[in-house]
Chains A and B, each alone.
Chain A
């Protein structure tokens, strides 16, 4: 079985066909560690890529981040901060890969980003925007499996239909790994920080998370909430079991969950709106 998994890992991690991130992201990443780099310099780098700029602005104005009316990159840098713009640059690039792949999964991811942001805000967790980004990206492994192993993906769908199991159970049966692990590999190969790769890797096994338990727990809960709402399509329609480790890490109670459900349902109307607009051709950057 291990052989099959390693072979798959090799196929998935074949860098020649792996979707790559724009060079701008790497430039941004290298700048951030350098204190001398100025906001203007960053804005200049981002603005040099018009498509990316447009996508960042589109996402900054989307309900998953909830910053309305940000109209220029330098505004975004000043209003939102450099880290947020970096998260936006990253998620907008990955979104492009996702959008083409499947609307249902894209909506599920967008919804999970929104839910993760709501959870982080409500609980006053640090680094809200990273948590939202991790929520957006948590199922990126599914995209890669579908791009790289489309036959296996069809098998996985067949198993879900026939046996009525969770997607990750079907994935384990067919490819001997699952989308969380694959997403983790991908995050590593893209050199994403641990605070993003760990929640992606462990969103179905919060116990396995280490340094970023809280972020992982928030993403797990966001995934559960969005599956409970029935928004989007993540591959199967079964709500995952809430993990005790996540419940404890976030110190949740029924009252908080009830409030989160209200807030989320309210927000999902906007998310649907946003998604419909894109599908109806409101996608400015594509033109």
Chain B
């Protein structure tokens, strides 16, 4: 599952979560989970001021986010000066755990 900005959503992507007005998860969903996006639907969501949607898989691959390994290598690079500091090392562990979980869920494209 991946959360993507609506302006990057394209026809064929499949919603992984219900879409709510103003992103408040109470009230009636505008569009249900597992709906396949079409161009008119994306346009309509845009008019309703929806900012982002959750979609199945990990459809948006940009330079720099090809694999979990690379993401973690970047994280290591960012933390290279502070890994020895106990407080900042905690943040490193939390981030590494978060990234691993968010990439691992059904969407991690390993080799393609």
A269 and B4 contacting across the interface, CB-CB below 8 Å: yes
Does A224 belong to the interface (CB within 8 Å)? Answer: yes
For B79, the chain A residues whose CB sits under 8 A away are: 228, 239
- Residue of A whose beta carbon sits closest to that of B3: A269
Instruction: Please provide the chain B residues from 73 to 88 with a CB less than 8 Å away from any CB of chain A in the complex.
Output: 74-75, 77-82, 85, 87-88
- Once A270-B5, A273-B5, A273-B7 are accepted as A-B contacts, the answer to whether A265 and B102 lie under 8 Å apart by CB is yes
Does B100 belong to the interface (CB within 8 Å)? Answer: no
- A228, A277, A280 pick with most chain B CB within 10 angstroms: A228
Q: In the complex, how many angstroms separate the beta carbon of B62 from the nearest chain A beta carbon?
A: 11
A241 and B88 contacting across the interface, CB-CB below 8 Å: yes
A68 and B49 contacting across the interface, CB-CB below 8 Å: yes
- Once A69-B49, A265-B102, A270-B51 are accepted as A-B contacts, the answer to whether A224 and B91 lie under 8 Å apart by CB is yes
Q: In the complex, how many angstroms separate the beta carbon of B11 from the nearest chain A beta carbon?
A: 19
B7 and A242 contacting across the interface, CB-CB below 8 Å: no
Q: In the complex, how many angstroms separate the beta carbon of A153 from the nearest chain B beta carbon?
A: 22
B90 and A257 contacting across the interface, CB-CB below 8 Å: yes
- Once A69-B22, A228-B91, A228-B95 are accepted as A-B contacts, the answer to whether A273 and B78 lie under 8 Å apart by CB is no
B81 and A238 contacting across the interface, CB-CB below 8 Å: yes
Does B94 belong to the interface (CB within 8 Å)? Answer: yes
Q: In the complex, how many angstroms separate the beta carbon of B26 from the nearest chain A beta carbon?
A: 15
Chain B interface bracket (under 10, 10 to 19, 20 to 34, 35 or more): 20 to 34
Give the docked Cα–Cα distance between A242 and B95 (Å).
14
Does A2 belong to the interface (CB within 8 Å)? Answer: no
For B102, the chain A residues whose CB sits under 8 A away are: 265
Interface mask (A252-270 → B, CB under 8 Å = 1, otherwise 0): 0010011001100110011
Does A166 belong to the interface (CB within 8 Å)? Answer: yes
- Residue of A whose beta carbon sits closest to that of B93: A254
B98 and A230 contacting across the interface, CB-CB below 8 Å: no
Does A276 belong to the interface (CB within 8 Å)? Answer: yes
Residues of A that sit less than 8 Å from B by CB:
63, 68-69, 166, 224-225, 227-230, 237-242, 244, 247, 254, 257-258, 261-262, 265-266, 269-270, 272-274, 276-277, 280
Instruction: Enumerate 21 A-B pairs (CB-CB under 8 Å) in ascending A order.
Output: A68-B22, A224-B91, A228-B79, A228-B91, A230-B74, A230-B78, A238-B80, A238-B81, A239-B81, A240-B82, A242-B82, A242-B85, A261-B98, A265-B102, A269-B3, A269-B4, A273-B5, A273-B7, A273-B52, A274-B51, A276-B7
Nearest 9 pairs of A and B residues by beta carbon: A273-B5, A242-B87, A242-B88, A241-B82, A269-B3, A270-B51, A258-B94, A241-B85, A238-B81
Residues of B that sit less than 8 Å from A by CB:
3-7, 22, 49, 51-52, 74-75, 77-82, 85, 87-88, 90-92, 94-95, 97-98, 102
